[in-house]
Structure 1
Amino acid sequence: MVKLAFNSALGQKDLKKEEKDEALIPQDVDVEDILRVRQQSRAWCWCMCLGLALILSGVVVGGAYLYRYYFTEEEKMYFCGVNYREENYRMRDSQEDTGMDLPTASKRIEERVRVLKDEGVELINIPVPKFSDSDPADIVHDFNRKLTAYLDLRLNKCYVIPLNTSVVMPPKSFAELLDNIEAGTYLPQSYLVREQMMVTGKVEHVDQLGYFIYGLCRGKDTYKLERRETVFGIQKREALNCHKILHFENKFVVETLICEP
């Protein structure tokens, strides 16, 4: 009689193999969890693509902006000056009925001007005057916002007022005037116009005044101004704290007197 014997070790190996296979097969598979993970991964990929697109568009727009304002607009910088005469009034004597005008000497004002025609903006820098008691200043005339901002560089204060289009030339006309002055085809012998401003309050939200004025007045005390009627000749002086800025944006020179109560 022949006896058949089975290898017990082989049987144990098969049993262990089956146990491993069972361990590799998940017992409880949640299909909803798998779908949720896939959806989250897909949403994350879309967000990453959108973020990269926004970054690239920002780089392109920023590069175009820098190129436009630091290269194409570089040719719009002017350094010009005009001569003007200022009427002087002699204080009236108590025994005289009339006053006499004293002879006047010609004076000169110089400024750096940058005209941005497409943006409707004029940027003016008045250096420290050589023969005047006026303050150095930076001025922005924004025709789109219809605002003018003065930065008194001596006081480091900013002042904002509605744009006076009867005094300030539009950018295109002003650029043509500056071109003629630089070319020597127009040598102005100008006159002086006075205007007086009163501080009426403080501006709290400078960021709402537009890009150019915000860039000028950011981080500085900024105040609102109101024009006062100017009386030429002899007038009673009020006890005000005033300072003046001489500038030109037309064929005449303007003396802007800024007063605080």
Structure 2
Amino acid sequence: MVKITFQAVSAPKADKDNEEDHIVIPQAHDQQTLPVKGKKHFPTRLCSLICGVVVLIVGLTLASIYAYRDYYYPQQLAAGRDFFHCRVVFEDTVYAPLRGRQELEENVGIYLDENYEQISVPVPYFGGCDPADIIHDFERGLTAYYDIALDSCYITELNTTMVMRPRNLWELLVNLKVGAYLPHTYLVREEMVVTGRVRNMRQLGPYIHRLCYSKDTYRLRRRSQHQRVERRDTKKCQSIRHFENPYVVETRICNRF
């Protein structure tokens, strides 16, 4: 009689066999990934934004220029008035080696319908001249100088050979571009002498009357270029520099009283 027996297989051995037969495939999420640096791209959005801003600014500038030329100036001309801020570089031929080139600044108001000009000369950068307000009234044929430093007005006949008419002056200033320097120019001198006091202010017209109201007002007479200023008049003279033409005028006013 033959006895047949079976030996039990332990569990660990089976597990070992299973491990040998089982192949583990690593998953993608189990792998350790390294950060990848992205490529630096050209900042196209920033460039587009800058180009857009530049185009907008250029467009607004051009629109302003066209509006100023096509709308503002015709409106001002239709209203019969216009205002300018002007500067001019000039040379005094007498004192040129000492002073060199000088600059003069003024504000100009042109009233085409009323046919007069009003000029305001601020305190100059150089000494020897007074700030002033000036009116050239072409209807009355009169010029008024208000010396701000002395608080006095001076009236004389309008010199149409030295003062451009409102329309011509307006065209000159427009063509020379408002706010720009006028071409390099020269200085012309004229001398005035006080002849007496003005009593009746209303005969001067509304514009000069408004300028000189409640101020000491005197009449002037042009002194001939051949006449010499006396020594006793030298200390009683003051000068006003202005321009209402392509050159600068120095008006010297002397009081002999």
TM-score, normalised relative to structure 2: 0.64
Residue 232 (structure 2) pairs with residue 239 (structure 1): yes
Give aligned pairs, total.
179
Residue 253 of structure 2 corresponds to residue 258 of structure 1: yes
| Aligned counterpart for 2:182 among listed residues 187, 190, 197 | 187
Let me know the Cα RMSD of the aligned residues.
2.5
Which of the numbers 83, 87, 105 marks the counterpart of 1:81? 87
Structure 1 residues 236, 229: closer, same or farther in 2, change over 3 A? closer
Shift of 1:76: 0.7
Instruction: Say if 2:190 is the partner of 1:225.
Output: no
Which residue type is aligned with residue 87 of structure 1?
T
TM-score, structure 1 length as denominator? 0.63
Match of 1:146 in 2: 141
Bigger-Rg structure (1/2): 2
Q: 1:158 and 1:183, CA in 2 relative to 1: closer, same or farther beyond 3 A? A: closer
**Are 2:133 and 1:127 equivalent residues in the alignment?**
no
The Cα of 1:230 is off from its aligned counterpart by: 2.4
Q: Is the 8 A contact 2:193 2:221 kept in 1?
A: yes
- Counterpart-to-counterpart distance in 2, 1:246 and 1:122: 16
| Superposition map of 1:93-108 within 5 A | 102=97, 105-108=100-103
**How far did residue 231 of structure 1 move?**
5.0
Q: Report SS of the residue matched to 1:110.
A: strand
Structure 2: which amino acid aligns with 1:121?
Y
Counterpart pick for 2:197 among 185, 192, 202: 202
Q: What secondary structure is seen at the aligned counterpart in 2 of 1:187?
A: strand
The alpha carbon displacement at 1:182 in A equals 2.5
- In the alignment, residue 88 of structure 1 is paired with which amino acid? V
Shift of the 152–184 alpha-carbon distance from structure 1 to 2, 3 Å rule, reads closer
Relative to structure 1, the CA distance from residue 175 to residue 162 in structure 2 (aligned partners, 3 Å threshold; closer, same or farther) is: same
Cα distance change of structure 1 residues 237 and 120 upon mapping to structure 2, 3 Å threshold? same
CA shift in 2, pair 1:182/1:132, >3 Å = farther
| Shift in Å, 1:102 | 3.8
Give the CA deviation at 1:223. 0.2
SS in 1 for 2:113: coil
Instruction: Report deviation, 1:132.
Output: 2.9
Q: Are the aligned partners of 2:144 and 2:156 in contact in 1 as well (CA < 8 Å)?
A: yes
4+ runs deviating over 6 angstroms:
none
Moved more, 158-167 or 129-138: 129-138
Residues of 1 paired with 2:90 and 2:120: CA distance? 18
Q: Does 1:116 align with 2:111?
A: yes
Unaligned 5+ segments in structure 1 are: 1-67, 90-100
Please give the alpha-carbon distance, in whole angstroms, between the structure 1 residues aligned to 2:108 and 2:101: 22
Contact 2:238/2:253 (<8 A) preserved? yes
Q: Distance in 1 between matches of 2:218 and 2:247?
A: 26
Task: Measure the CA separation in 1 of the matches of 2:215 and 2:242.
Answer: 22
